[in-house]
Amino acid sequence: MILFVQKPTEKAENRAAMTPAAAKKLIGLGISIEMPAGTGVKSSYPDQQYIDEGVTISQSPDESLAKADIVYGLELPKAATFKKMKEGAVYLGRVEPFGNAKLIAAAAKAKVRLVSMEMIPRTTLAQKMDILSSQANLAGYQAVITGASRLDKILPMMMTPAGTISPSKVFIIGVGVAGLQAIATAKRLGARVQAFDTRPVVEEQVKSLGAKFVKIDLGETGQTEQGYAKELTEEQLEMQRQGMAKVCADSDIVITTAKLFGRKAPIIVTADMVAAMAAGSVIIDLAAETGGNVEGTKVDEEVVTDNGVKIIGIGKLENELPTHASQMYAANLANFTEHFWDSEKGELVLDPEDEIIQGSLLTDNGEIIHPTFK
């Protein structure tokens, strides 16, 4: 069995889909790994570390791709990649399946078995394969670090002979995986932290991290079976904005993480709310790539408003921590592979009755089989 690792080509992408540690685990299963030279260099994994674990540095990536039984990707795949793969081979990686119908159709046409790692069900068993969680966790941490570094103040309280500095106030909107990590990180740095989420179950989690939950009565809200937030009505969103305006105005750092899986993010912080914030305040919008939670966010840019508020909308903050982001991402894919590895047959067996496969396998036998994308 040959596994080929694609090397990211986008200049801004620093991560890799394989690490030496993940390679060691997979080679231990009996899998041969081939990858282009320099695949892990930007995440500080030199080729030699992979070679030491038994990875082959491919002299012809296209040939390696064509003979591979399993392909690991990190950037969105291209239809051309599927065309070059052999029939029945498995592609594992990010697919962003909502809005990428043509890509899914291309995989089906090429008879590639396409696994969307974003669609891994949110169950305890599948947690070790969940790329959304592993990357969001790091992004949540990095949001606070970025916010702190762009703020003209310190986060903790400091009592010095020259006077007392009061702690900075951090407000986190959206308390999923990224938001929880952001709360924990901001607390560790000594900030005064408040948070809000539309899912009522979150209140306890916020309190258990020592932060204050901002209460806004929006009527009926809730979550889907997979734990994702339900979309609010426009009326509810307006109530939310009004409830939050004062908290935003009073905060030094606002971090928004409020996404709606597969859909555009809601605008929660309007231009008026930004205008009411103090000069020097920082907003980190983690939903920037899916439209942004903040009016005026620009992906991968820092916008400074007329009243001196910095709005930072870096698309993938985890990309700034590539060593650990690659470690987590590669581990997610390797855990999937190990979980479905049949050691007697020496191959990946994607059982259509398995809950994880039902959730994440989009194409098989030349057809789109996933009910959501069919």
Dihedrals φ, ψ of 287, to 5°?
A: -95, 10
Residue among 258, 273, 328, 357 that touches ligand NAD (CB under 6 A):
258
* Active-site annotation holds for 130: yes
Burial 27-61 (b: 16+ CB within 10 A, else e): eebebbbbbbeebbebbebebebbeebebebbeeb
Residue 73's nearest CA partner among 48, 111, 103, 98 is 103
**Residues 270, 257: contact at Cβ < 8 Å?**
no
Of 116, 134, 194, 198, the residue at the interface with ligand NAD (CB under 6 A) is 198
Q: Measure the CA–CA gap between 12 and 239, rounded to whole angstroms.
A: 38
- 176 near ligand NAD, judged by CB under 6 A: yes
- What does the per-residue mask of binding to ligand NAD show for 127-146, with x meaning CB under 6 A? x--x-xx--x----------
**Which residue among 116, 133, 135, 327 is the active-site one?**
133
Residue 199 binds ligand NAD, judged by CB under 6 A: yes
Considering the rule CB under 6 A, would residue 254 count as an interface residue with ligand NAD?
A: no
How many residues lie near ligand NAD (CB under 6 A)? 31
Comparing C-alpha atoms, which of 248, 309, 254 is closest to residue 285?
Answer: 254
Judge residue 226's burial from the number of C-beta atoms within 10 Å of its C-beta, 0-12 exposed, 13-18 middle, 19 or more buried: exposed
Nearer to ligand NAD, 109 or 212 (CB): 212
Write the burial class of residue 288 (CB in 10 Å: 0-12 exposed, 13-18 middle, 19+ buried): buried
- Asked if 257 is part of the footprint of ligand NAD (rule: CB under 6 A), the reply reads yes
Q: Which one of the spans 81-89, 170-178, 348-356, 359-367 is the region binding ligand NAD (CB under 6 A)?
A: 170-178
CB of 127 to ligand NAD, least distance (A): 4
- Alpha helices (runs of H) in the chain, residue ranges in sequence order: 20-28, 47-53, 61-67, 79-84, 101-109, 131-150, 177-188, 202-208, 234-249, 271-275, 322-339, 355-360
- Identify whether 217 is a catalytic site residue: no
Q: By CB under 6 A, which span of 7-15, 43-51, 171-179, 335-343 interacts with ligand NAD?
A: 171-179
- Enumerate the H helices of 130-213 as residue ranges: 131-150, 177-188, 202-208
| Candidate list 15, 169, 192, 259; residue touching ligand NAD; CB under 6 A | 259
Distance, in Å, from the CA atom of 126 to the CA atom of 142, rounded to the nearest integer, reads 25
The smaller minimum CB distance to ligand NAD, of residues 229 and 294, is found at 229
Q: Is 317 in the site for ligand NAD (CB under 6 A)?
A: no
Residue nearest to ligand NAD (CB): 176
123 binds ligand NAD (CB under 6 A): yes
Interaction between residue 241 and ligand NAD (CB under 6 A): no
Binding of residue 359 to ligand NAD (CB under 6 A): no
266 binds ligand NAD (CB under 6 A): yes
Compute the distance between CA of residue 354 and CA of residue 16 in angstroms, rounded to an integer.
Answer: 28
166: annotated active-site residue: no
Nearer to ligand NAD, 22 or 268 (CB): 268
Does the annotation mark 127 as catalytic? yes
CB 74 within 8 A of CB 16: yes
Write out the binding residues for ligand NAD, residues 75-114 only, by CB under 6 A. Answer: none
CB of 126 to ligand NAD, least distance (A): 6
Question: For this structure, is 45 an active site residue?
Answer: no
**Contact between 264 and 291 (Cβ < 8 Å):** yes
Q: Which of the following is catalytic: 32, 49, 69, 127?
A: 127
Regarding 122 and contact with ligand NAD (CB under 6 A), the answer is yes
Tokens 């009326």 locate to 235
Tell whether residue 255 is a contact of ligand NAD (CB under 6 A): no
User: Is residue 268 a contact partner of residue 173, using CB atoms and an 8 Å limit?
Assistant: yes
Burial category of 87 from C-beta neighbours within 10 Å (exposed 0-12, middle 13-18, buried 19 and up) = exposed
| Cα 211 to Cα 312: distance, rounded to the nearest angstrom | 23
Catalytic residue selected from 50, 58, 91, 130: 130
Which residue type does 361 have?
A: L
- Output 136 or 362, the one with its CB closest to ligand NAD: 136
Q: Which residues are marked as active site? A: 122, 127, 130, 133, 228
The residues that touch ligand NAD, with contacts defined as CB under 6 A, are: 122-124, 127, 130, 132-133, 136, 173-179, 196-199, 227-229, 232, 240, 257-261, 266, 268
